Amino acid sequence: MKLYRDHQEYLQEALKDPKEAALYLNAAVEENDPVLLVAALADVARAHGISRLAKKAALSRVGLHKIISKKGNPELKTFMSLVKASGLQLSFKAA
């Protein structure tokens, strides 16, 4: 019997909640690292289900995998469609 839950398991469950996903992506944005932001978006995508999210964002499943890979570099339009498909919205605040 497992007495603990590993980090990935916890993260997958937590990021299904749009509020948690928004906090997670905001923390990634604050680091000012585009690679980290894409990695965080990949975590959110996995939590929501790659196939389901790809369909909502009008992307192929394979295309989404390429976009969120370590070498992925999504265009702003694609990034925005993934954010929207995840039930989130992008906003800005003064520094």
Is residue 82 within 8 A of residue 50, CB to CB? The reply is no
Alpha carbon distance 16, 1 (integer Å): 25
Q: Where are the alpha helices (DSSP H) in the chain?
A: 7-14, 18-30, 34-48, 50-56, 61-67, 76-85
pLDDT digits (tens, 9 = 90+) for 28-82: 999 999 999 999 999 999 999 999 999 999 999 999 999 999 888 899 999 999 9
* pLDDT value, residue 63: 92
Residue 12 has pLDDT above 90, yes or no: yes
Domain ranges of the chain: 7-85
